[in-house]
C-alpha cells in the first residue's frame, strides 16, 4: 500500500494566519489526492479533490496544490470555523490510504 505522511501532526495558529499542511506519498500518485476536514464527533468533509479542485460550497480560502509525491493544503486566512483535523487521501491505487492527520489548534 502507498504510505501517506502528513506534516506537521499538530499546528498552532491564530485567526487570520496563512496555514500550510503538507502530504507526502511513498510513491507517485499523479494528482489523485483529496483533502478532508474533520471536527470532533463528526464525519470527514470533503474540501479538495484531484489535488487542486475545490469542492462546491467550500470557501475559497482553501486551496490545494501538488502532483507526484508532494502535496499541500493551504488556508489563506484561518477562520474560527477552521480549527479541526485535516486528512489527505490517495486514490491512485488500492488500498486507498489516508494520512495520519494534522490537527489545527488555536494559538
Q: Which residues bind another protein (CB under 8 A)?
A: 32, 34, 43-46, 49-50, 55, 87, 89, 91-101
Report in angstroms how near the CB of residue 1 gets to another protein at its nearest: 8
Nearer to another protein, 1 or 70 (CB): 1
The strand ranges marked E within 1-107 are 4-7, 10-13, 19-25, 33-38, 45-49, 53-54, 62-67, 70-75, 85-90, 97-98, 102-106
SS (H, E, C) 52-78: CEECCCCCCCEEEEEECCEEEEEECCC
Nearer to another protein, 42 or 80 (CB): 42
CB of 100 to another protein, least distance (A): 5
Mapping DSSP to helix (H, G, I), strand (E, B) and coil, where does residue 35 land?
Answer: strand
Closest separation between CB of residue 87 and another protein, Å?
Answer: 6
Q: Please report how close the Cβ of residue 60 comes to another protein at its closest, in angstroms.
A: 18
Amino acid at each position: 500500500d502507498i504510505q501517506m505522511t502528513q506534516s506537521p501532526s499538530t499546528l498552532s495558529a491564530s485567526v487570520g494566519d496563512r496555514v500550510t499542511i503538507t502530504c507526502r506519498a511513498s510513491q507517485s500518485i499523479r494528482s489523485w489526492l483529496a483533502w478532508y476536514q474533520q471536527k470532533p464527533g463528526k464525519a470527514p468533509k470533503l474540501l479538495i479533490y484531484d489535488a487542486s479542485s475545490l469542492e462546491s460550497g467550500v470557501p475559497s480560502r482553501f486551496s490545494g496544490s501538488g502532483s507526484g509525491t508532494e502535496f499541500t493544503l493551504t488556508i489563506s486566512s484561518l477562520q474560527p470555523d477552521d480549527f479541526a483535523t485535516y486528512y489527505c487521501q490517495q486514490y491512485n491505487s488500492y488500498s486507498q490510504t489516508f494520512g495520519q492527520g494534522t490537527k489545527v489548534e488555536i494559538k
